Structure 1
């Protein structure tokens, strides 16, 4: 290879530019052909040699196919009596083969019969009409003497008598021993544990008497149910009985016409006993069908699963589920996989699939399980609003009535069985809905509800429906998953900015579509925190075919405009690079965040009065990402922390003796823990603080330590480890408060309490 490389370099060096291009192309062509040849050689080397058994002097086939047998199968059904399931045939392929010797070796089994049999007396040790004979044998190897040539029309065929050892598929290898026969390895049987497998077509739900689906007792291999009588018992749990007319027993497939039955025990008993007589073993796998069986739940029966234990004869003992018993049972489920919705969408037609959740099914398993005229509530997450519903009620004359909403014609939605109902404009602001079901006792009632919803643009995750009330329908199911229209990330480290300074650089930002057309016609706005304005930037589409019609800025807003013809056909990526911003003198210490907003990514935003009752949200952003810190005389991350003294109930605190005023006062909660306002944590602890509205979490970072609080949780996550707290992070009066003692321990900060002065000192 090195010589070839040197030759190529020499040719290129001596060639004129035009010739050098031609030589390069020839070299590339040769390299491609060489790579293709090497890939082909590698593929061929990975194919098992047994796959080439039909390419050579002879070909080998297994007549009778590859049966499934019991893991202890033996061709010797009685001593000295053998039954063959298949045979091995070696026939001429390209050339004939003269009389010769070869071997047959068996894997995951052994040759039937006693290995001590002499060659002339054993089952293999006979001369087969001058065609072949067994020269010698062990449990796993047969030495074959071929007494005549294999030519066209004159095949070698030998029945296979073997015993499986349960370790896997039984295989036979043809070893040519330097003869003209083509070697190879062939699967001659697959094994299965146990003699039978017992199943039922479907599990029913019943309240007193239930008619079971057919019970199937199936052989795992041909002949696994031996000849003779088998007393099969099917036992119910305590307080359940077999009832009604005797079930019908049928024999199918390999057992058809080879067996008979007699039901000896049934009505009023826990045990169903059947005498099954096998007159002749099956040559293909057979099955026993038990049809028409009924079970009765006594007054002492317990609700839940009903399992039957089957045993007796050669039937493999096992327990299987046949029914579920319940006095009253209602199923609450989703009619398929959750639908994926894009947060922030707001189409002109609310029955568009952009708003459609998976169908919610409320179904009676037994009649009268649903209580009439009792209200049922379906509640979705607080960040979802219901715009309308598609109804389908089946089962007799059952119907449904909705409460507190009207359709878009301002008509009540009552006593309906089917139809699409978009709610009246002022009824689209709720995440829950109430209804009553009028259930017809003549049949099981089934209610299918397909909700059309609006999802808050800044939220994502599972859209769960919680079904509750006094009707008997209860449960929680996932009807959809919400995702944001775009991803937004900052590239590089967060910078520190000075107040009153223009043209300060900030990290690059990337806006990425998840799917094509996720960015709609309209404006996409990158909005900066207050007191900060855009100075310079470069906006580029680096992936995909999205086109930006216009780029402009206004104070703290960078505005990207898209027309209908600009939307993408493949997911696209936008980069904002070489950006700089201006910081005036009004901001206090804290983070500068960039937020993604605009009707191109969240058209369901409106700040108009009453709009939130019409399906809109007043949250105006999709993503919020920290891009910088402003240092206006506070504690920079990584510097020494001053001495801070806080007084319970007072918003005035001191920093190294200098008085300052906090937006809220610390207080002591019910667990006797000091709660510190989030807004002064950075100032008092020398830490960075990030608030995530979407997940309702607070991330406090000091040096290499990271502490995550979740509102309402009594555990904090310190450097990835969950640690319990005596108090929770809470929101009180629109202010977020954090347990000071727990935070101080997590960050290694000294916190001292003075009961006399009711002050906390942080060193």
Structure 2
């Protein structure tokens, strides 16, 4: 396109734009002065004080005051003629009595004409709303006023019902039928709907096992616009029907704002006192003039008993800070709890932290803690403090704390002679901070430098072992028992430790840096000295310290970690501490001899693929002079045998060719094997490990063992 053509088009466009007439926008702010609750066919009078405010802009106020005219139209609303027009000299003229700053002329039930006399107007809205969506529309065409539509109510549809009934929380009633129903509230949707003489009817179904009970004091509370007024109700049966209660309202004085009443203390009783009332919901129908019939649940009939609930279950970490649980004990019905039989609570799986008990609902002092040695052993509910007139509800809270060795569910147990059986309520869980795995260690009496055992401490989550806190591992409860831990090897992975030492029979170290992932600490080569005073039996391993628990005496216990065997005292004249003598095994034969005495095994020796003589271990021990009670069998690692043989402690494991001699690993030429439930060992290797002499005859396939 040529430049000359482009310029021509631009000029043409400019001419079109300048030819369009410019209209000045009206500029008034319109709106109601307040919001009313509206009911169909109930007139909004001048006393209601509802105005449509119209305020012109500062630029238009002077011009508007000279007589700006606009119209107000109504939708689902009819203007009251008498509120706007009056008579002068026998003629009907526009009035000023209900509006300010303007003349208002009633043109029809749905239209007003407004003539401004000031820059700020207040047009009274007087009339009757109809069913629908009542609204006022300002028609500001050819005027300085802004057009717009304004709803008279926030509700979409206006009804002709001026009252509404609701019920409070349903109350529990026992099967004997005696009790009170929930509070019933009747509220006005428009002021003045409740009057002196208004009758409210409350009805039970004909099928109900309950009747209303007169004679009690029914109380009334005024609400909102009726608050503070001495409102009462007069109660009587309708036509002597005990299932229908008529409540006549008295004592109301006029009010310009909406109000209501709350009716309290309506009582019921069994229709036939000889029979129990059926359990379940109790419903009533509430009726009144200008009110939708309301069907309300006002009570629950429940058998005697109590409910125990927790607001929210908690998870605590063993040995760490506790958390608060909130528990509710509630009667199903009045007098479910005997006031002479207290309720006792015990916590299983965790501990209640001392002095954290708090009752948030219930009589003062109704619940107390019981302690022993500075620990809470339980809680006691004093039933003598319960109410006789209502189903009681007691809400209490306390802090739950898990000890280092506790894991799993935390259960609150409630017991009482009131109950057929204890009530159990899960209130939380205890999660372990660390897992402990251990391989047992076997030692012999009167020996030094016995090594063995293994302890692995693994976090369940990162940073469970806090920085600067100590771990203390004690292999025996008391060094005075003759057991002395003198050394150990401690290694850490993904957690750093420092100050590793063994003192007073305890392995100690400090967490230097917390973990990023799951930290692991491994303790091996635990070196133990024993003296002759150590008794036979098993000793526990304990893991404690401030890194494990916030309490100094709180530890994780590994049962029977250290096994101590008794010394062999029968003719221990040989250098290896075993009984002197000679024993003979023959491959393929069950019979064997000890010092010339023939005995019989339940399985014959055989020769393995590695050309080693394999004999059931119990008979090997017998030939070597080991007392039967000094041979221990364990299921650990698929089968572990521990033999206390004189000055040596020998351990062998099924499927392994590694033996432990006084805690030191020694390889053998053949593996330990289980066949038909019997554990076979290479008898020659066992003799070598225990310093027993051996001779082998290839011709007779006979092995002879001598302990000199």
Q: TM-score, normalised by structure 1?
A: 0.43
Larger radius of gyration: 2
Q: TM-score, normalised by structure 2?
A: 0.45
